[in-house]
Amino acid sequence: METPKRSRTATRARLLEGALEVFAERGFAGASVEDICDQAGFTRGAFYSNFGSKDELVLALFQATTDRLLEQIEALLPDLANQPGTLLDAVLGLLDEAIGDQRQWHLISTEFTLHALRNPDAARALNEQRAMFRASLTRLVEEISAASHLQFSVPAEQFVRLVIAVHEGARSQSLLEPSDVPAGSLEHAFLPIVLDAVSRPSR
Amino acid sequence: METPKRSRTATRARLLEGALEVFAERGFAGASVEDICDQAGFTRGAFYSNFGSKDELVLALFQATTDRLLEQIEALLPDLANQPGTLLDAVLGLLDEAIGDQRQWHLISTEFTLHALRNPDAARALNEQRAMFRASLTRLVEEISAASHLQFSVPAEQFVRLVIAVHEGARSQSLLEPSDVPAGSLEHAFLPIVLDAVSRPSR
DNA sequence: TGTATTCAATACAGAACTGTATCCTACTCT
DNA sequence: AGAGTAGGATACAGTTCTGTATTGAATACA
């Protein structure tokens, strides 16, 4: 009762990996469960014994990514709490790093967001996840601002929302016109502006 | 040999209209040819006698849609530039007015964007259209800022890109969680912040 | 060694979609 | 009024997808 469990999580992982690629290539609706299984080297039997549906798999994918990201950010905190400037760079670096392939990830998350806009069930689940992610980020922001004597002119939660909006909007632009806009340059240009706009030193 | 031709273009138009709604509801991949025909009140016979494939229709729809949007924007610009009111009102007005149904437009344009991210040809066309849109907005911003003695700490084009990024990112959030975030509230909350960040009165 | 269990493969039934081939109707034009 | 034609409807064959029910193999444990 131990090796089977280990192999189970391994197939889960391979299915998630496979799904990442297939979704990026064909889109969420365009990718059949069978495509995903083929890519991962399994049959649908494996899929349905690990996930209840395609939605469930995507949500697992999101959870894994946000978990990883939060973990990495928290690991950074102790060192950088006192240097907000470098912290921003560091966090941006992490975003690039935690998300292996920006293009791939953007495609998938955008697709599923669209899907959620049309499916109340998916929307509920996605919102729940995103709310938890925002809550974690908000807590981090509050800690940082306390430690570094920074005050925000808007509530931390609003600030987090703004950062997410800018990040996603900027990424969309830079992916769409890679020749005019070097990858990530917009994010790196915009976020400091935003940070500057809502923060001021408290003394 | 004239009424048939007129009726032909009429069915084409109705099919395109129907496609717009069905695509918004179910997405490109999720919408079957039959769905589109049902919506338009035809059968697939009509479809295949007017379009070679769904892709072909998507292309035609894209052209028609972007043409229409650009037209509307051009028509709106002179009014906005001359009207009293803040730069912010003008920009928001343009964005809100040119786009009738925010939700439907968001779904469709996001769908197009995703499509473009996978099709270089579509990407070229979309970028061209977006560049013209940005140019219009940039011109508007420059005119108004000159008239109101505002200076920007970043080039107007960058500013426009930032506004677009924030607007799209915010819209995505507010559509996804309508219960937590009233429609448009994020856009209206964020844009003043951004505007404030990059502008200062010149005297 | 034998038994129980767990995970993935396979087989299957039903639904949905596509694209074509054919038929029908209503104009057009003389 | 009658022939020709264009546009759209209908019928159909083939493919693909989904989800479940059953089977088989490998492992854990007694």
Ordered by start, the domain boundaries in chain B are 1-52, 55-201
Q: How far apart are the first and last CA of chain A?
A: 60
- As a residue count, chain A comes to 203
Interhelix angle for A156-176 vs B185-198, to 10°? 80
Looking at residue B178, what is its pLDDT?
Answer: 96
Kindly state which CATH superfamily the domain B55-201 is placed in: Tetracycline Repressor, domain 2 (1.10.357.10)
Using an 8 Å CB-CB cutoff, list chain B residues near A114: 27, 107, 110-111, 114
pLDDT value at residue A179: 94
Under 8 Å CB-to-CB from B149, ≥6 apart: which residues? Answer: B201, B202, B203
Nearest CA-CA partner of A168 in A100, A75, A95, A73: A95
- Residue A5 pLDDT greater than 70, yes or no: no
pLDDT of residue A104: 95
pLDDT band (50, 70, 90) for residue A203:
very low
Q: What is the pLDDT at residue B2?
A: 42
Statement: residue A21 has pLDDT above 70:
yes
* Band of pLDDT at residue A2, cut at 50, 70 and 90: very low
As a whole number, mean pLDDT of residues A126-141 equals 95
B124 close to B62: Cβ distance less than 8 angstroms: no
pLDDT at residue A151 in the model: 85
Element (H, E) at B200: strand B199-201
When scoring A26, A127, A172 by the number of chain B Cβ atoms within 10 A, the one with the most, hence best to mutate, is A172
How far is A58 from A28, CA to CA, in rounded Å? 9
Nearest chain B residue to A126 by CA: give it.
B176
Query: Which chain B residue shows the shortest CA-CA distance from A164?
Result: B169
State the DSSP H helix or E strand holding residue B76, giving kind and residue range, or none if neither: helix B54-82
- Whether B46 CB is under 7 Å from strand C: no
Inter-CA distances, B86 with A9, B146, B183, Å: 57, 12, 22
Look up the protein residue whose alpha carbon has the minimum distance to the C1' of C18. Answer: B33
pLDDT at residue B4 in the model: 55
Nearest CB to A170; choose among B26, B165, B172 = B165
CB B80 within 8 A of CB B94: yes
Quick one: pLDDT at residue A85?
64
| Burial of B42: CB neighbours in 10 Å, binned 0-12, 13-18, 19+ | middle
Q: How far is the CA of B17 from the CAs of B12, B20, B60, B64, B81, in angstroms? A: 9, 5, 11, 10, 32
Q: Which two tokens stand for residue A162?
A: 């703004």
Which has the higher per-residue pLDDT, B198 or A122?
A122
Task: Kindly report the CATH number that applies to the domain delimited by B1-52.
Answer: 1.10.10.60
Residue of A25, A52, A169, A37 lying closest to A111 (CA atoms): A25
Check whether A55 has a pLDDT greater than 80.
yes
List of chain B residues with pLDDT < 70: 1-6, 200-203
CATH class of A54-201: mainly alpha
Residue B203 has what pLDDT? 42
Count A/B contacts: CB-CB distance under 8 Å.
122
- A81 pLDDT more than 70: no
Name the residue among B28, B173, B197 with its Cβ closest to that of A196.
B197
